[in-house]
Structure 1
Amino acid sequence: MRISLLDRTRTRLGESDGDAVAGTIHRAARAERLGLHRFWVAEHHSVPGIASASPTVLLAAIGARTRTIRVGTGGVMLPNHNPLVVAEQLRLLEALYPRRVDVGIGASLAFKSSIRRALGHTTLDPAEHASAVERLRSYLYGGPDDDVVARPQVAPPPMFLLAIKDGLGLAARLGLPAVIGGPLLRDTAATDAYFRDFSPSPAVPEPYLVASVDIAVADSADRARELLLPEIWALASSRETGGFTALRPVDDVRRLLDTATPKVRAAVDRGYDSVIAGTAGQVVAEVAALTARTGAAEVMATTSTFDRDELAEADEALAALQNGR
């Protein structure tokens, strides 16, 4: 089983945004030393809890600090960008770091309506998005428009679709590898249809699924769940406050939970339904069940912890699972 990391450049209470960016770059170098398969970075705009809005720029720095690990965008949110410009940026990264760059493409709009307005897209048009994905694929892999050629001319980096809602159908129709998370991890009808309806091409002859999920490995299941609590709290409380905030220490979160509304406490409880947390043996069993259910050939851990030393230990534990130790 291939295990990869998606790092969202999460901020921590008491740290600067610059510290968060440096932490992501340091983590990428560690992931390479550990032998993990990929290291991807995300795009989020005007979010206090996330320091990076430009995955392609961040990848340039990560590529310079690594030598062998695959690096990618997880993802570029295509509604915010021109497909030709995205193709040019990723082709340039491929020229800098040959045979290591992945193009992960998403369609999520911004966290708040004010940010969506600032970016110029308040709603997502599925047909328009599908057209943009097709144009990007054409610029990367070559297509009928000979008058517009994305440069530099290098071997095209592989393209992945971050599937939400009916996104797996688009990935199957266009013959693209896909990344699934959240409700799609349990939607066997959607994943079965992806494999059944996949349209092969010379560039992508077979379907390929990556399962994205928060994973924590520790000496006990309770400790593993505790590691994920700050991230689960940030998401649960954001639904009430409207702000996705910096990670806080576990003890702080426990105190906040004591006075939280029933709605937020229930959201925290539900948050644990979509993660994998436990001892090494428990995590191996849950990952095996996940890949059997979805058909995924790879797991991408989206783990964030408040304590960076604990995050390093979590990454080391994942690498040990990948390497059968």
Structure 2
Amino acid sequence: MSAPFSPSTKGTAPVPLSVLDLATVGEGTSAADALHTAVTLAVQAETRGYHRFWAAEHHAMPEVASSSPAVLLAHVAARTRTIRLGSGGVMLPNHTPLIVAEQFGTLHALAPGRVDLGLGRAPGTNAATASALRRNLPRSGGAADFPEQVEELMAFLTGQFPAGHPYTEVHAIPGPVQSRLPGGVSATGGPTPWLLGSSGFSARLAARLGLPFAFAHHFAPQHTTSAVRLYREQFRASAVLDRPYVMIGVQAFAAEDEKEAYHQVLTGVISMMRTQRGQSALMPTSEEAAHHVFSPAEEEFVQGWMASVEYGTPDVVRDGLARLAERTRANELLITTYAHGRTERLRSFDLIADAYGMPS
């Protein structure tokens, strides 16, 4: 299997552990604080032996500052040396494939051999904002267009459009065409494409294209088993990947005190409830979460959401992650902490690394 899938993790983790960050903005903090925390987390993750640091694309959400993954990742690339960096993901219908190929080609030129390009088909926002993002795009951005967009993007990444394609002479730069020019020099390879998904649609597409697949177990746990099975059953080897590779996205939070872990996770749950009601606001503090009075409908939402979150003391979280990896036969786990506390979130990743005996 190629280098992008060879873990650098040392220690007792049964599968590589990676980080997904949303640059969450909590009450009493700013977007600048959240972005600086994301960079700090990436540096810390590299030091502790996490395999990847991914940033997510979201829009029009005051509690999430990661609207421009490529910009954030460029900042992180300048402050790290070995950890793989990527998008989790770029919401491709919001962009033209050429723009994405150029952005991530630039990242690859800056950090050769360690850039991932995770692609999703959801807008990462509400309908009005999605319309504003896509107003000048030639496609509708619907599910029927997504496979075509992915294939066009991959052609820009490789410089290999089929004969007669209208973009045969269009090149993403920085990109593969530079290595074929007289005297041209470029970094070998390019960004590694991934497909993200929360259902069977992306699982089937990832399998057909022979791409690694990252499944969003943290918000679609009811589909995890079926989607992963579908991907493995239908997988076709490609130039990117010779056999299936599954990374499972999971929300986890570790603290010395189980109650503190619960209240930190609860800040994210409350934020998610508000977002779904169209009431986006900065993420509440753990103190506010601890004193929130939930309606019966909210209680049901909390119980359903928390059922797929691994939280508690470090050993409890480690055991929960191990069970998830074993149940799904995951090749890798992508851990996210959707919570308020900056210090507590950074500490959580340290505690998880400690529980696995990863480098310190």
- TM (norm. structure 1) is 0.92
Say which of 238, 247, 250 aligns to 2:283: 247
- Aligned pairs for 1:95-106 (under 5 A) are 95-106=109-120
Specify the SS of the correspondent of 2:145. helix
CA distance in 2, matches of 1:196, 1:39: 28
Q: CA deviation at 1:290?
A: 1.3
- Aligned pairs for 1:2-41 (under 5 A) are 2-41=16-55
Query: Structure 1 residue 76 and structure 2 residue 90: aligned?
Result: yes
Say which of 144, 168, 171 aligns to 1:127: 144
2:301 partner amino acid: A
Specify the SS of the correspondent of 2:340. coil
**Counterpart for residue 149 of structure 1:** 171
CA distance in 2, matches of 1:172, 1:23: 35
**Counterpart for residue 140 of structure 1:** 157
CA 1:94–1:22: 2 relative to 1, 3 Å: same
Contact 1:103/1:158 (8 A) holds in 2: yes
**Counterpart for residue 240 of structure 2:** 203
CA distance in 1, matches of 2:253, 2:196: 22
Q: CA deviation at 1:310?
A: 1.1
Tell me, which stretches of 5 or more residues in structure 2 are unaligned? 1-14, 163-167, 177-186
Query: Structure 1 residue 291 and structure 2 residue 291: aligned?
Result: no
**Counterpart for residue 94 of structure 1:** 108
Tell me, which stretches of 5 or more residues in structure 1 are unaligned? none
Q: C-alpha deviations, 1:189-224, integer Å up to 9, x for none?
A: 321121121110122111111110111123354332
Contact 2:121/2:143 (8 A) holds in 1: no
Q: CA deviation at 1:143?
A: 2.1
Q: How many residues align?
A: 322
Query: Structure 1 residue 57 and structure 2 residue 94: aligned?
Result: no
1:151 partner amino acid: I
Specify the SS of the correspondent of 1:65. coil
Q: CA deviation at 1:66?
A: 1.0
CA distance in 2, matches of 1:283, 1:16: 29
Say which of 352, 355, 360 aligns to 1:318: 352
CA distance in 1, matches of 2:231, 2:124: 27
**Counterpart for residue 114 of structure 1:** 128
2:114 partner amino acid: R
CA distance in 1, matches of 2:221, 2:156: 29
Task: Name whichever of 190-199 and 79-88 sits farther off.
Answer: 190-199
Specify the SS of the correspondent of 2:108. helix
CA distance in 2, matches of 1:274, 1:237: 19
Structure with the higher helix share, 1 or 2: 1
Say which of 177, 180, 183 aligns to 2:215: 180
CA distance in 2, matches of 1:288, 1:33: 22
CA distance in 1, matches of 2:323, 2:223: 11
The two structures, once aligned, show a CA RMSD in angstroms of 2.0
Q: CA deviation at 1:110?
A: 4.0
Q: CA deviation at 1:124?
A: 4.7
Contact 2:318/2:356 (8 A) holds in 1: no
CA 1:271–1:38: 2 relative to 1, 3 Å: same
Task: Name whichever of 160-169 and 283-292 sits farther off.
Answer: 283-292
Task: Name whichever of 301-310 and 48-57 sits farther off.
Answer: 301-310
**Counterpart for residue 11 of structure 2:** none
Q: CA deviation at 1:23?
A: 1.4
Specify the SS of the correspondent of 1:274. coil
Q: CA deviation at 1:184?
A: 4.9
Specify the SS of the correspondent of 1:6. strand
CA distance in 2, matches of 1:207, 1:314: 30
Task: Name whichever of 86-95 and 122-131 sits farther off.
Answer: 122-131
Say which of 168, 176, 184 aligns to 2:203: 168
1:233 partner amino acid: I
Contact 1:186/1:293 (8 A) holds in 2: no
Q: C-alpha deviations, 1:97-123, integer Å up to 9, x for none?
A: 111111111111243222122123797
Sequence identity percentage: 34
